[in-house]
Structure 1
Amino acid sequence: CSRGRCSYLQFETEIIISCCDFHTHRRHYACNGSSTDEFCRNLNLNLKSLNETQTAVFYSIHDWCKRKVLNENPQQFFYYVAGTGKSHLIKSVYAEATKILQKLPCVSEEADISKATVLLTAFTGCASHNINGKTLHALLKLPRSLKPPYQGLGNTLDEMRANFSNVQIMIIDEISMVSKPLFAYVNWRLQQIKGNDKPFGTVSIMAVGDFHQLPPLGKAKPLCVYEHHVLDFWRDHFKMITLTDIMRQKDDLAFAELLNRLTVKQKHEPLSDADRTITSRFSDITNIDADDYKKDPRSGHMQKQGAPFKGEKGDLVDTLQVAVGARVMLTRNIDVQDTRNSVPIILFTLRERRKVRKKGTVRRQFTLKLAFACTAHKVQGMTTHCAVASLKKVFEPGMAYVALRRTTSLSGLHVIDYDEKKIFCSDCSCLQTTKLQTFRFSAKSCGTFDFVEHHGLQTSCCVW
């Protein structure tokens, strides 16, 4: 397609990749035709399902990457993408930007092409896993304490510079949970790695999230709240792009509109009659208290067993209750990238040995806990067809909102421990997000897709 942005044509085991303003590149793949067909179909499906605003964001970054490859030195961009349909946009932008930036001279000629050009990251392990990324702390080797002064990389600096040698773009998901001290550390870390004092070390940032959802842990304020005494990278550099088309609940628009109204509901504001449809999803629940018992091998009777040694709060659990087929959660990130069908493969390597005095005690335990239910902080960003949401322990703005919007339809939502006052948003988030500068798309950032069939393989092109 001569006018197309991107087209994929297959001939036996060879793929011809042609991009606008680039010469045709031939790459041979050591894979069968079915794998190639699947790759092309997935790419086409991603592009085909983008709405108008998503398409504009997609091609704005596409054009930036193209100019970067052509050595036009485009200005570093800082986007804040808010609204709905963010995860799908992240995957599409990541795939396209990675493909184009592989043509950079520094990547194709000098550097190791295996090093990433686009990074995917988030604050929590669950959020980063949803986009196949890493947590900010793991990716940038950040310390547990973010208090000043800044702690440099030390002996690992050379290793990090090698790993980040090709990095041009960082995509941060669930930005509402990132605190200002953490965001400042991200800036300083990238400056140190890149050896450049420009914001974020010349790395362009695409921050994605919704400030009506969960704020940072503890007493830290979200990035959108301005504080005079705190270094503010957010308001000084970032421009906002709002995605308005609802994606998760697109097949249940009444439920989607209800959630949008709950987004701005204040703590003491009653629900409207239209919004009270959510009360139809109440469910009864029966709590069963179970004691810990063991079977006496001599009598065959069950006897209650006490814990051999109780630790302090935050230590390993006294008793680990598990069973075959039980759903569990890792409480430490051992290997978050080694997964099988989204189910963690748990690996334990015990190499540490410590000498303990007579008065000391050593406790060993698997870093697991039962997870038939998760906290709102764990499920932010997750999509499911059915969920049971308990509002009993909601204690801060956005928690109920996050729990209620995990499902794709109202019929799949079951609410327990309902309390209308628990559904509220943060006053400051509503006010401050409107003060961020809005990004204006250029006319060439918007196009339409045409999909054609070529030798049984559907291909796509963008018409201007």
Structure 2
Amino acid sequence: MPPPPKQSISGLRSIKRDFSSFLPSASQDSVISSSDPNAIPWTPTPPKQSKLSGAEQRLRDIEEALKGNLVSSEIALASSQTSRSTMLQKRPSSSQDPPAKRRQLPSSWNDPEPIQRSAYFSSSSTRTPVVNKTLTNNAPGRTAPISLSQEQQHILQLVREGQNIFYTGSAGTGKSVLLREIIAIMRAKHSRSPDAVAVTASTGIAACNIGGMTIHSFSGIGLGLESAEVLANKVRKNKKASARWARTQVLIIDEISMVEGELFDKIAHIGSILRKRPEPFGGIQVVVTGDFFQLPPVTKGQKATFAFEAEMWRKTIKKTFNLTQVFRQRDPEFVDMLNEMRFGKLTPGSIARFRSLARDIVYEDGLGATELFPLREDVERSNTARMRVIQGETRSFTALDGGTLTDETQREKMLNNFMAPKTLTLKIGAQVMLIKNIDDTLVNGSMGKIVKFIDPSASLEEDDIAYGGKPSSKNGKAGKKQSSGVMWPVVDFLQPGGGLRRVTVQPESWKVELPNGEVQVSRTQLPLILAWAMSIHKSQGQTLERVKVDLAKVFEKGQAYVALSRATCLDGLQVLHFDPARVNAHPKVVDWTRTLATVS
């Protein structure tokens, strides 16, 4: 017995597929027209239909699709290519509509899905916008849109492709900005494994600045004094550390200049042992950045070796780049002077110009320069003395600390790496610095002066609302509420283009987070510090509009360069006791840096 004939799934097996009778004509136009030029076209509501059979409903759907100038996917599947071509040719077109432009496809279909991204730039230099690269900023704060230069985009693309990269550059070339982009794009790439990207740095302060941990903490080696084999056995006994090594796919190391060469070799070997793979770091993708002309490795008595001298360096790092476009300094003369200082070879003209910066600078807005000291004791002494001179009530703000870490010694050490102090003492008239990015003009490094303290739950004055104070009512208007007894400082912040911006400052949070999301330590405090003085070590990575440096107190290679390169221009820089003999660079770093590639 022959099998029954196959039936059409569409339900149109008994209907001839001649769609020409359903095509719209001039007399069947669904849009009512008028000779009145002001008439508004409209489509009449179709009369209510009784329930149709399957075939009738299908015909109705086809008719409606054709009247709407649409070709549905169902029609396309049910019709042959010839029928579909015929329909498309008969579709009405409007002579008033411009011809559609051919769709431009992106340059690469491998780009990740765009995600909202923000960051801050202090430069007035021109940047080439990133094409189809809007990324997520995981750095703290609410910040302004970002774009990358051509050389930054090139490095970012290589990292996205999975290559092991080292990049460097003089102060102000956007190393930190590019690093935040790299962190964001790699986390997006490995979004299915939240702890696949390990963000680390050589010091606690640097780690906090990028929302990561120290390379010692990540690797689980403690001080790392033992051999790689002994340290590997130690890490195996630490479940969290061994799990990090197993799950990490990308390891990012910031401020590599302070990582000693021997330590780099040890960590690379430990990765090979734990992951049971012969490649350095056990095959993990490694992204390294920093400036070897800045602060060098800290060693006790023995001669230090740089990370680029390590045996595993060339086996690990396949491509190295030197960023050349400067964004922090706006004055070409100043850029040239800093580049000479970086290599430790100053021309007579630059020496004379630096010596001329010993003059006093008077700022009409009353905000003085931040003085940079090599020792923390000098910083505390200077800030305390200035606070003592100010008359008025003192207000203290105590931080709220949290986190899973229970070892008190290690906990305190990690908390001390935060810029935010445990106890912050302020007065009206105190000079302060913002230590967290808030938006495009309120950024880490913004200088200001406290003008008053207010209760945020009480009525806000008109100027507080106009200059960024948070209204107490949801409709954006100031409203009277019962006082909470909490008083927040109101600060007049200096703006990059000049002028002041008044803002009510409220607490923000900092944290040290493991790749799996566990928060080891956290601190919630006002994002302010006293800013008459600051240590050179903590200033590394900062951008300061007004800087004062006494080079007679500088004692370490790289300190003078780090301090002076914080300034954005010569007009805002005061240099005391300038001595060319104190401006020097390590010859190994000079020779090695000349071998680095640049992005053409």
Matching residue within 175, 191, 197 for 2:272: 191
1:378 Cα deviation (Å)?
3.2
Structure possessing the higher radius of gyration over alpha carbons: 2
| Counterpart Cα distance in 1 of 2:395 and 2:572 | 24
| Counterpart Cα distance in 2 of 1:331 and 1:413 | 35
1:336 Cα deviation (Å)?
5.6
Matching residue within 368, 381, 390 for 2:550: 390
Query: What pairs with 1:283-322 in structure 2 (closer than 5 Å)?
Result: none
- Whether the 8 Å CA contact 1:81–1:243 is kept in 2: the answer is yes
Matched, 1:49 2:152: no
Matched, 1:62 2:160: yes
Matched, 1:94 2:183: yes
Corresponding residue pairs, total: 334
The two structures have a TM-score, normalised by structure 2, of 0.48
Q: Deviations over 1:412-456 (max 9, x none)?
A: 2222343232111111211133346x48x8xxxx9xxxxxxxxxx
| Counterpart Cα distance in 2 of 1:95 and 1:137 | 23
Q: 1:119 to 1:212 in 2, by over 3 A?
A: same
| Counterpart Cα distance in 2 of 1:338 and 1:284 | 29
Matching residue within 184, 200, 212 for 2:281: 200
Counterpart position of 1:143 = 222
What letter corresponds to residue 246 of structure 1 in structure 2? V
Matched, 1:415 2:575: yes
1:178 Cα deviation (Å)?
0.9
What letter corresponds to residue 291 of structure 2 in structure 1? D
Counterpart position of 2:167 = 81
Q: 1:88 to 1:391 in 2, by over 3 A?
A: same
| Counterpart Cα distance in 1 of 2:578 and 2:343 | 19
Return 81-90 or 141-150, whichever deviates more: 141-150
Percent identical residues: 26
| Counterpart Cα distance in 2 of 1:274 and 1:154 | 51
Matched, 1:125 2:204: yes
Counterpart position of 2:312 = 233
Question: Structure 2: where are the runs of 5+ without partners?
Answer: 1-102, 120-132, 138-142, 362-379, 388-393, 400-410, 421-433, 437-506, 512-528
- Whether the 8 Å CA contact 1:173–1:207 is kept in 2: the answer is yes
Q: Deviations over 1:225-246 (max 9, x none)?
A: 64xxxx5112344231111111
Q: 1:38 to 1:422 in 2, by over 3 A?
A: closer
Q: 1:237 to 1:51 in 2, by over 3 A?
A: same
Larger relative contact order (C-alpha < 8 A, sep ≥ 6)?
1
| Counterpart Cα distance in 2 of 1:24 and 1:205 | 23
Counterpart position of 1:255 = 334
Counterpart position of 2:559 = 399
Counterpart position of 2:304 = 221
What letter corresponds to residue 245 of structure 1 in structure 2? Q
1:38 Cα deviation (Å)?
7.2
Q: 1:325 to 1:155 in 2, by over 3 A?
A: farther
Question: Structure 1: where are the runs of 5+ without partners?
Answer: 6-18, 28-35, 65-76, 103-107, 286-316, 348-368, 447-464
1:43 Cα deviation (Å)?
5.3
- Whether the 8 Å CA contact 1:127–1:174 is kept in 2: the answer is yes
What letter corresponds to residue 282 of structure 2 in structure 1? G
1:3 Cα deviation (Å)?
2.6
- State the secondary structure of the residue aligned to 2:348: coil
- Whether the 8 Å CA contact 1:262–1:401 is kept in 2: the answer is yes
Q: Deviations over 1:7-64 (max 9, x none)?
A: xxxxxxxxxxxx8248989x9xxxxxxxx79799775998852111111111122233
Q: 1:192 to 1:390 in 2, by over 3 A?
A: farther
Counterpart position of 2:64 = none
Matched, 1:173 2:286: no
| Counterpart Cα distance in 2 of 1:326 and 1:260 | 42
Q: Deviations over 1:142-196 (max 9, x none)?
A: 2225243632335644322434444221221111111012212321333344343
Q: Deviations over 1:329-364 (max 9, x none)?
A: 9972138679796489799xxxxxxxxxxxxxxxxx
Counterpart position of 1:16 = none
- State the secondary structure of the residue aligned to 1:241: strand
- Whether the 8 Å CA contact 2:205–2:417 is kept in 1: the answer is no
- State the secondary structure of the residue aligned to 1:242: strand
